[in-house]
């Protein structure tokens, strides 16, 4: 685990815990951690590598191990690569999607934190500002698993 926290250990967590629980268990963030670049509500998986960048550090500096991405599954992408998982993507990753700026990306994260993971790609239509045209543009760029 690469974690800009007050500790650098490996942690054991239960299957229902989220990143926020892990951060607490690790002793919290350091002053240098870029807390806004990660999704604290993300569910964690066994063998997952969590990378919390330092303030001012580009989230792409770790190549595919960007914030809250897994080294086991491909969740970081560009539009020509693997799909972006809208249940796990952080603000930076969501902004890589066609037509998604900072506000819409934040709306996705806020909806996800309030309502839990998206059950289908069509559920994205429940987010304010996402209609059929937007869903049609994004369907080949996103995943939910």
Q: Which has the closest alpha carbon to 144: 121, 122, 115?
A: 121
Instruction: Give yes or no: residues 79 and 69 share one domain.
Output: no
Q: Are residues 46 and 84 in the same domain?
A: no
What is the greatest pairwise CA distance in the chain?
Answer: 45
pLDDT of amino acid 115:
94
Residue where a domain stops, chosen among 40, 73, 106: 73
Q: Of 45, 73, 101, at which residue does a domain stop?
A: 73
DSSP H or E run through 19: helix 19-25
Out of 73, 106, 127, a domain closes at: 73
- Res. 52: pLDDT tops 80: no
Question: How far from 12 is each of 1, 36, 48, 111, CA to CA, in Å?
Answer: 11, 24, 11, 28
Domain region containing 87: 75-145
Q: Are residues 56 and 83 in the same domain?
A: no
Shared domain check, 49 and 2: yes
Q: Are residues 68 and 80 in the same domain?
A: no
Which of 26-30, 74-78, 98-102, 119-123 reaches the highest mean pLDDT?
A: 119-123
pLDDT band at residue 57, thresholds of 50, 70 and 90?
confident
**Residue that wins the pLDDT comparison between 65 and 33:** 33
Over residues 133-142, the pLDDT tens digits come to: 989 989 999 9
Higher pLDDT among residues 87 and 70, named by residue = 87
25-39, 62-76, 84-98: which range is least confident on average?
62-76
Residues 6+ apart with CB under 8 A from 40: 18, 19, 20, 23, 113
What is the average pLDDT score of the chain?
A: 76
Phi, psi (rounded to 5 degrees) for 53: -70, 160
- Together in a domain, 87 and 20: no
Give ∠ CA 138-143-145 in degrees, rounded to 5: 165
66 within 8 A of 91, measured Cβ to Cβ: no
For residue 141, the domain's CATH number is 1.10.150.320
- State whether 16 and 49 are in the same domain: yes
Residue 41 — pLDDT band, cuts 50, 70, 90?
confident
Are the C-beta atoms of residues 6 and 28 closer than 8 Å to each other? yes
Is the whole-model pTM more than 0.95? no
How many domains does the chain divide into? 2
């Amino acid at each position: 685990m690469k974690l800009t926290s007050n500790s650098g250990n490996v942690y054991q967590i239960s299957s229902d815990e989220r990143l926020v629980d892990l951060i607490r268990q690790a002793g919290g963030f350091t002053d240098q951690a870029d807390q806004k670049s990660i999704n604290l509500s993300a569910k964690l998986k066994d063998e997952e590598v969590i990378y919390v960048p330092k303030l001012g550090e580009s989230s792409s500096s770790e190549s595919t191990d960007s914030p809250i991405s897994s080294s086991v599954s491909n969740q970081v992408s560009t539009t020509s690569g693997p799909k972006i998982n809208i249940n796990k993507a952080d603000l930076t990753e969501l902004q890589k999607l066609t037509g998604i700026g900072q506000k819409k990306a934040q709306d996705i994260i806020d909806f996800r934190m309030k309502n839990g993971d998206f059950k289908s790609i069509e559920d994205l239509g429940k987010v304010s500002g996402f209609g059929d045209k937007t869903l049609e543009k994004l369907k080949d760029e996103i995943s939910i698993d």
